[in-house]
Structure 1
Amino acid sequence: MFKGLSFISKTMLFFNVVLAITTLMAYLLPFLAPKWFPFLSVLTLFLPFFLVLNLMFFLFWLIQFKKYIFVSGLVLLLGITFINKFYNLQATELPKSDKDFTIMSYNVRLFNKFNWYQKANIPAQIAQFVADKNPDILCIQEYSDLEKTKFSDYKYQQIFKEGENIIVGNAIFSKYKIIDKGVINFPNSTNNAVYADIIKEKDTLRVYSMHLQSIKISTDIEDEKIQKINESKTKYIFRKISDAFTKQQEQALLLKAHYSDCKFKKIICGDMNNSAFSFVYRTIKGSMQDTFEASGAGFGKTYNFKYYPARIDYIFADKTIQVKSFETLNEFYNSDHFPLISRLEIK
Structure 2
Amino acid sequence: MTVFHSLVIVLLLGTLLNAYVPPRIFPWFNMLSLAFPVLMILNVGMILLWIVLWKKRAVVFLLLSLFLINPVKRWINFSTTKEQRGNLKIVSLNTKGGLLYGYEKIYDYLKNTDADIILAQEYSTEFNVQGYQYQTDSYEIVALNSKYKIIRQGKIATVGNGNSFFADVEVHGKTIRLINVYLSPFSFEKGKVKPTEDLDQNKVKLRYVIRKLVPTFKNHQDEVADIKKAIAESPYPVILAGDFNAVPNSYEYYQIGKNLKDVFVETGTGSATSFHDYKFPIRIDYVFCSPEIKPVSYKVDRSVKLSDHYPVITEFKID
TM-score (norm 1): 0.84
Equivalent residues in 2 for 1:1-347, closer than 5 Å: 12-90=1-79, 92-96=81-85, 100-112=87-99, 117=100, 119=101, 122-145=102-125, 150-162=128-140, 169-187=141-159, 189-218=160-189, 221=192, 232-347=204-319
| Structure with larger Rg | 1
Contact map agreement 2:8 2:39 (CA 8 A) in 1: yes
The alignment partner of 1:79 has SS state of: helix
- Please give the per-residue CA displacement for 1:107-161, whole angstroms capped at 9, x wherever unaligned: 001011xxxx4x5xx2111111011101101000012226xx6213111111424
Tell me which residue corresponds to 2:198. Answer: none
- Please give the per-residue CA displacement for 1:76-121, whole angstroms capped at 9, x wherever unaligned: 1121221211111357452226xx1101110001011xxxx4x5xx
State the identity as a percent: 27
Contact map agreement 1:51 1:76 (CA 8 A) in 2: no
Cα distance in 2 for partners of 1:72, 1:236 equals 35
Contact map agreement 2:161 2:183 (CA 8 A) in 1: no
- Please give the per-residue CA displacement for 1:276-335, whole angstroms capped at 9, x wherever unaligned: 101111111111111111111112111004432311101111111111111001111120
Paired AA for residue 16 in structure 1: H
Report the RMSD for the aligned CA atoms in angstroms. 2.1
Q: 1:153 to 1:193 in 2, by over 3 A?
A: same
Q: Deviation of residue 51 (structure 1)? A: 1.6
Cα distance in 1 for partners of 2:123, 2:89 equals 20
Tell me which residue corresponds to 1:225. Answer: none
Cα distance in 2 for partners of 1:221, 1:233 equals 6
Q: Deviation of residue 66 (structure 1)? A: 0.6
Q: Deviation of residue 26 (structure 1)? A: 2.1
Cα distance in 1 for partners of 2:5, 2:277 equals 27
Structure 2: tracts of 5 or more residues without a match: 194-200
Structure 1: tracts of 5 or more residues without a match: 1-11, 163-168, 223-228
Cα distance in 2 for partners of 1:190, 1:83 equals 30
Q: 1:327 to 1:175 in 2, by over 3 A?
A: same
Runs of 4+ in 1 over 3 A off after TM superposition: 90-93, 219-222
Contact map agreement 1:180 1:196 (CA 8 A) in 2: yes
Contact map agreement 2:150 2:170 (CA 8 A) in 1: yes
Contact map agreement 1:299 1:309 (CA 8 A) in 2: no
Paired AA for residue 93 in structure 2: Y
TM-score (norm 2): 0.91
- After TM superposition, the structure 1 stretch with the greater mean CA deviation from structure 2, 301-310 or 201-210, is 301-310
Cα distance in 2 for partners of 1:157, 1:101 equals 17
Cα distance in 2 for partners of 1:27, 1:39 equals 12
The alignment partner of 1:104 has SS state of: strand
Cα distance in 2 for partners of 1:306, 1:93 equals 33
Cα distance in 2 for partners of 1:323, 1:151 equals 25
- After TM superposition, the structure 1 stretch with the greater mean CA deviation from structure 2, 68-77 or 38-47, is 68-77
- Please give the per-residue CA displacement for 1:205-258, whole angstroms capped at 9, x wherever unaligned: 110111001111226949xxxxxx9x8321221221121111111101111112
